Each structure stands twice: as C-alpha cells, then as structure tokens.
Copies of this chain bind each other. A is one copy, B any other.
Amino acid sequence: MDIPTYDDMLAAHERIKPHIRHTPVRTSDYLNDLTGAELFFKCENFQEPGAFKVRGATNAVFGLDDAQARNGVATHSSGNHASCLSYAAMLRGIPCNVVMPRTAPQAKKDTVRRYGGTITECEPSTTSREETFAQVQAETGGNFVHPYNDPRVIAGQGTCAKELMEQADGLDYVIAPIGGGGMISGTCLTLSHAAPETKIIAAEPEQADDAYRSFRAGHIIADDAPKTIADGLLVPLKDLTWHFVSRHVHDILTASDPEIIAAMKLTWKHLRVVMEPSSAVPLATILKNKGMFAGKRVGVVITGGNVDLDRLPWMNS
C-alpha cells in the first residue's frame, strides 16, 4: 500500500494550481443562527467541472510521464470523478475512458461527453462496475485512476483542506461527505500534519452508511448497491482510504434522505449556491447534532454542484 505523504500533497498543489480554481469560502449569518455554529463553506462546486474531484484527477493526469500518458487514463465512477478525469485529460490532450452506472444523472453523463470522455455504461452495483471496467481497461491500456483508492488522488484532494485552513483559520472541525473516502482521506492527510487540533468529521447518508458501520466495527464493511438521493456517496471504503479514516477521523455522523434534501434546499436558499444532494449531508448532520457544533468554527466542504435542474429532489415530494 503506497500511502501519500504531506509532501506529496504539497507537490500536488503546485502541480494542479494552474489548472484548478482557488474556490471561495462562503458564510451565511442565517445558517450560523440556525445551527449555532460558525460555518465556513468551501465551494468546490465552483470548480469548472463542478466538483472537488478535479483536484485528484488533475494531479494524477499531470503527474504521468509522456510515455504513460500516451494511452490516456481510465476509471469507473458514480459521476463527478468521471467528469473531472475527462476534464483533466482534455486539458492535457489525452484520451479518457470511463465506466459509469447507467442510472447516473444525465447531467453528469453530459458533462463527461462535453469534456471528450468516452463512456461505457454498467449496472448500478459495485460488482458490475468493477467487471465492466476490467474489460475497458484491457482494451484501451489507459492508466487506471481510481476515484479515491489512489495515492495521487488522495494527495490531490488534500489540497482542498490546505486552502480551507488558509482561508478560515482556527477551525475546530472540518466536515465533509464520505462515500469512498477520497475527500476525507485527503483532509486527514493535510490536517493531521498541519492542524492536528482540528477534528475531522465524515458525514454519510443513513441509506448508504457502510463507512459509519465500518468505523464502528473497526474493519471495512461494503454494501453492493445502496440507494440514496446522495448519488455521489454510493461506493465503499478501500484499503487506502480506510487507512486514513480509521486513524484520523474523529467521528462519522449520518442523516436521512429527507434531512439531506431539507439541508440542500436550505443551502440553495440562503447561501445561494447550487450544490448536489451529496454535498448537503454535512449540513444535515450538523443540524442533527447542534450540541456538538455549538459555538465552534466549522469548515464544511461543498463537494459538488452537478445536478439535473429538471429533476430536483423536492419536486418529487
């Protein structure tokens, strides 16, 4: 297991800086009053392809030597990693092949294609995804950039926490959603070295709470096909992200789908940013655990903003 270091994260930041946005931190008096905490929202939804995953993807793509880059890159992803890897590959001018569940939101598929990525669809289960990917990779020979269980990706995601702590100092907590654990692992990588007093909280949908159960059990528990509105958080932890989660995460909190939708709507209304359901899980858990966060300075990562505007979750209820 090749565990990325703090220096890898610093090198990643230098490598990706010309290609990513230094995203702003937003605050809302209304949401501070509502939660009793002081919230600093890091707007990774403002990355050009709409998600923090452009950090890890760009670090992987631009870290390849020319010989490696020739066959391009390949991956499987529930959506944003696919868009972001396609975007990074487009910036470098190399091919990108991605395996996506056929049920992924149309907006995410459109984005991959707009950036020149080639999509092969699979069934919405981890098993189908991994099988289909093996075929695609055998055919293309692309360099495999796993959406999160890859040291280059985790080092890239860690650059978000570096910027956040520079933009909002003295944070008591940083909270981010957890699916496979890439953002949380990057956050652990950076903060365990640079701000060990800041507690790291992972926020997870109740309906896909494998990380929560893993954390409590002390070993990885993986569900094959969980179902939640937070479609970016369906994948299980892997050895590399488990390394960081088991060592550096302070706690994992969960929220129900209705709570996630309510938090999403609150953020659209009061921060006036477009975020996807996965990104609303942190605020949903803060609202459920007000005592824990009261009076604290809390960094909240808004991980992505790619939604299908014609199918907003509160329109179905």
Interface of A with B (CB < 8 Å)? 24, 26, 28-30, 45-46, 48, 50, 107, 114, 265, 268-269, 271-275, 305, 309-310, 312, 314-315
Contacts and interface: CB of A to CB of B under 8 A. Distances in A.
Contact of A268 (B26, B28, B48, B274): B274
Which of A29, A30, A107, A274 is the most central at the interface, judged by chain B CB atoms within 10 Å of its CB?
A274
Contact of A273 (B269, B274, B310): B274
A35 to B, nearest CB: 16
A46 B30 contact: no
Contacts of A272: 45-46, 50, 273-275, 305
Given A268-B309, A272-B273, 12 more contacts: A24-B24, A26-B46, A30-B48, A46-B271, A46-B272, A107-B269, A269-B274, A269-B309, A272-B274, A272-B305, A274-B274, A312-B312
Contacts of A107: 269
B24 A48 contact: no
Contacts of A46: 26, 271-272
B29 A48 contact: yes
B310 A314 contact: yes
B305 A314 contact: no
Contacts of A45: 272
B30 A265 contact: no
28 contacts: A24-B24, A26-B46, A28-B48, A29-B48, A30-B48, A30-B114, A45-B272, A46-B271, A46-B272, A50-B272, A107-B269, A265-B309, A268-B274, A268-B309, A269-B274, A269-B309, A272-B273, A272-B274, A272-B275, A272-B305, A273-B273, A273-B274, A274-B274, A309-B312, A309-B314, A310-B314, A312-B312, A315-B315
A42 to B, nearest CB: 13
A275 B273 CA distance: 9
A310 B46 CA distance: 24
Which of A272, A309, A315 is the most central at the interface, judged by chain B CB atoms within 10 Å of its CB?
A272
Nearest to A304: B272
A90 to B, nearest CB: 11
Nearest to A48: B29
A30 B314 CA distance: 27
Contacts of A48: 28-30
Contacts of A30: 48, 114
A45 B269 CA distance: 11
5 A-B pairs with the lowest CB-CB distances in the bound complex, closest first: A272-B305, A272-B274, A45-B272, A24-B24, A29-B48
Nearest to A29: B48
A210 to B, nearest CB: 28
